[in-house]
A and B are shown apart, each in its own frame.
Chain A
Amino acid sequence: MKRRILLLAVLPLPALADAIAQIQQRLVSAPVQRGRFEQDKQLAGFSKPLKSQGDYLLVRGKGLIWRTTAPFASQLVLTRDRIAAGNGMKGGLQLDASKEPGIRVVTGLMLSLLDGDLGALQQAFEVQASLVGEKAWRAALKPKAAALAQLFSRIELEGDRQLRRILMTEAQGDTTTLRFDEQPREPAPPSAEEAKQLG
């Protein structure tokens, strides 16, 4: 609590709003985004980081398809009202907001993070944002609610015209780093299969 007050005192609000607005201008925020990611997880008890990679498709207003290709294939489909995991659609985990309204908090957070939507993230996080050089920017998020703070102690975002890196630090100290490759300027629209999964 004390730290939050300190943060607010040090950082004048208009400046913050200004930084966020400028970041949003620097981001070329396309309605359909495709890209490749690399993930490094640093977990307590594991001697080596856990590396994985894959690709993703983010359709604004629809959802996210997160495909891991190595070291094994798996898929996570995430819309605002649903989380479906597993290989394809059979037998995997399914969570629906009609049964579990709480998942909207999680899906909303994930979709906003990958879209770099700092405005939306401000509702759940204290956002500290700054511009770097001519094109780049970075932001640090601290959860406001204790429930969220039990999951993440801190999330950092870096990017320029697109999101380049997310660093999530979990409450127990485990970290997850996501790095994103250059996105194609004109991504292919969702295939019929992808559209169905996001339906």
Chain B
Amino acid sequence: MVDRPHRFAPWAWALALLLTAAGLALAAWSGRVRINTDVLAMLPKDERRPEVEQALAALAKAGEGRVIVLLRAPADSEAAMDRFVATLQAAAPGIQLRHQVSDRQQADWLSFFAPQRGALLTDAQRAKLQSSPPEALAQEALASLMQPMGLPRVGRWIDDPFNTLGQWLTDRAQVSKVRAINGRLRLADAQGDWMLGLIDSGASAFALSDNERIAKALASARAAVPEAQVLAAGVPLHAHAAAAQAQREMHLIGLGSLVGVFALSWLAFARIRPRLLVLLSVGSGLLVAVAATLAVFGELHLITLVFGASLVGVAENYASSHYSSRIAQPPSARFALMREQLPTMVLALSTTLAGYALLATTPFPGLQQVALFSAAGLTAAFVSTWLWFPHLDAGTVPERPLTRALGRAWLRWPHLGRRGGLLMGLAIAAVLAVAAWRGRADDDIRLLQNTPPALMQEQIDIGRRLDLPSPAQFYLLSGASEAELLQREEALKAHLAGVKGLAGWQAVSDWVPSPARQSEDAALVERRWAEVAPLVAGQLGQALPARDAAAPTVLTVDAWRAGPVSEAARHQWLGRGADGQWHSVLMLRGVSRELLPQLAALADGTGVRWVDKVADVSELLARQRVRMLGVLAIAAVAVAALLAWRLGGAWWRALVPTLLAGALALAATALAGQPWQLFHVLALLLLLGVGVDYGIFLLAQPSRRDLRGFVSITLAAASTWLSFGLLALSGTPALRAFGLTLGLGIVLAWFLTPFFVPRHDSPND
């Protein structure tokens, strides 16, 4: 009974899968399988503003692999810190931890700016030098010469009589609250004296094993200082938490789905072989899914894996459909049954694939990955079922209690007449009206994130104590040259100084003033000193010593970046972009929500751009939510056309139950008090593809006496529901929303579809 091409096709498919498996094993062995844990990597890149993307990447890179630790003990913080560090380094030998600063490093820090003395002025000093009478300046210079104590001074008095550099360095130092005291990094705040440590793994944040090592070493180091309060925050800890959570969920969903699928096929088909074959089909699907995703994207996103675990429940559909068709049929008919079923299966597959294709039209790389992963996996599972199952299992499929019960339910399931339809329609319309009135949309970025609250709290705590600049809002500046860029920064800072409530900012020009400003300031100092020097000499009654003949050199960004002093702000200088422009980032401290409009208004859109990542993401999610609703409408029309072409006048019977199920699932979200968001809409896209399958299968076998179609869709719906229902347990709000909506939608689509299938048999049967 086997067609000629079919004789080779199963072998060819097996060979293809083996080669894929070998390729994948090779890639995994050579370490080329990258797993991405960054939730924001799921979001589309801003194609219109490549410099913004570059700036975000640079800021992200500066934080990669770095953890900040604050420690405070009631009695002896220094001893506790030493114990903490020793335990940490014993637990993870490769990790670099800095908590001490040598005198040498401190001296280097000060002497770096020594050649610039007289050319670096604080705003207050500049104002004073511009407006003060020479007598006042003379007295101040004398005081700083005579007084036993004052500001730190670099070099001789005569080379910097106004002590401009001492004041400038003091001003710079006040940017950070961290101090090196007795050779240790410390932070003093209202609560007391904290010891500070910086862990630098030197690795990418996506090197999962490194993150795990850091997290574990930190945990044992914390345990070594039970008396101390320890705060730790950093990208590796977030990445580790995300990876651990995803792994848990993957196991839960994958294992749960597998157990469910096994249990269902046992109840429906009893024998061991169908279960093994279902496993084979699902396994081949997962193999091809992973391989295809890696081939196209070069990496797997964690969300893809979690989402992909739910594929188990969908890929199983074709296998259970095949077995359902064989219930109570002679084994010899299996090839004929497969051929007979093929058009229905292909139609069902194509509507599901259409759903995934729609997901792929979103600009979200994460969703594109999910779509490719699922589409490839489903197709492979289908091909395995089609080519292998009739060959591999020649047994009979008897009726079982479960299938008989389903058959009875199917037999009695009412078909909605005109009156019933009207009543049901009215009831559904009422529910939808209430939901429409109560529902609201929310596109907050937090839907994507799911950081453990304790970790988040420590992050906020450390950010507040160290007064770290906000990573989410900043200015991106551009200029035709380094000098112009620095001048733009200076102009912007002059505006920012007038913004009430802003705590401060952090910019490269804080450290390296524009060349124009440096030479202006140097000239100002020289001019004023020429006036003041005779007064000072007169007061002292003697000639002043000779000054250092060397004029201050111009400090360049390159020199600053090469020195150790630039560590905290180096990454804000982005350098020259592909557009030939120079770019830098100006970061802000103490940004509050109320200030955002005022801050945004300071941008001019070209030289100074305002970037608000939080608002951008929310706006993007909102825009995509609206856009995807449009896509959903188009998709419904396209599916209607496809159904009309294949099913003729009965097309609406397959489509309407799914549309109603989707609307009710959305309504349920609103009635439960949850806001609507993009991921609900995306779930509906997929529901459209999966839900109409039920109509397609039932309409292909509409006889109420033939239980096979109904058994097939019930098993499919149950396993799909199981997978996505488990997704609803995910800690990521977006996945949870997706799972809940799809799970509910599938149950409703399965429940509603039989009402729309007309009774072909005479009522007396």
Residues of A at the B interface (CB closer than 8 Å) are 39, 41, 43-48, 50, 52, 66, 68, 71-72, 74, 76, 78, 83, 85-87, 91-93, 95, 99-102, 105-106, 110, 145-147, 150, 168, 172, 176, 178
Contacts and interface: CB of A to CB of B under 8 A. Distances in A.
A48 B143 contact: no
Nearest to A109: B149
Interface stretch (B173-181, B409-417, B662-670): B173-181
B143 A46 contact: no
Contact of A178 (B148, B156, B167): B148
Contact of A93 (B107, B150, B545): B150
A68 B177 CA distance: 33
A45 B158 contact: yes
B549 interface: no
Contacts of B542: 46-48
Nearest to B188: A101
Contacts of B107: 146, 150
Contacts of A106: 149
A92 B150 CA distance: 11
B179 A72 contact: no
A102 B182 contact: no
Contact of A72 (B142, B150, B543): B142
A46 B607 CA distance: 51
The size class of the interface chain B forms with chain A is 35 or more
Given A68-B146, A110-B149, A172-B156, 9 more contacts: A41-B146, A45-B544, A46-B544, A71-B142, A74-B146, A101-B181, A101-B186, A101-B188, A147-B103
Contacts of B156: 44-45, 172
A86 B128 CA distance: 13
B143 A102 contact: no
A92 B202 CA distance: 45
B545 to A, nearest CB: 3
Contacts of A146: 103, 107
Contacts, number: 93
Given A74-B143, A145-B182, A95 B545 contact: no
30 contacts: A39-B148, A44-B156, A44-B545, A45-B156, A45-B544, A45-B545, A46-B540, A46-B544, A46-B545, A47-B542, A52-B146, A66-B147, A66-B148, A68-B146, A72-B139, A72-B142, A74-B143, A74-B146, A74-B147, A76-B150, A83-B149, A86-B140, A86-B143, A95-B170, A100-B170, A100-B174, A106-B149, A110-B148, A145-B182, A146-B103
Contacts of A83: 149-150
A76 B149 contact: yes
A50 B545 CA distance: 13
A50 B142 CA distance: 10
Interface in B130-151: 139-140, 142-143, 145-151
A52 B146 CA distance: 8
A44 B156 CA distance: 9
A13 B93 CA distance: 40
Nearest to A146: B103
A101 B179 contact: yes
Given A74-B139, A86-B140, A100 B147 contact: no
Q: Which of A39, A74, A93, A178 has the most CB of B within 10 A?
A: A93
Contacts of A87: 139
A95 B103 CA distance: 23
A196 to B, nearest CB: 21
Given A86-B140, A100-B174, A101-B181, A147 B106 contact: yes
Closest 3 CB pairs of A and B: A45-B545, A146-B103, A74-B143
Interface in B146-195: 146-151, 156-158, 167, 170, 173-174, 177, 179, 181-183, 186, 188
Contact of A99 (B146, B174, B544, B546): B174
B158 A93 contact: no
B763 interface: no
Given A43-B157, A72-B142, A147-B106, A93 B148 contact: no
A78 B170 contact: no
A121 B145 CA distance: 25
A72 B543 CA distance: 18
A163 B103 CA distance: 32
Contacts of A72: 139, 142-143, 539
A45 B186 CA distance: 39
B191 to A, nearest CB: 13
B498 interface: no
A176 B390 CA distance: 103
Contact of A95 (B143, B151, B179): B151
B649 interface: no
A43 B106 CA distance: 26
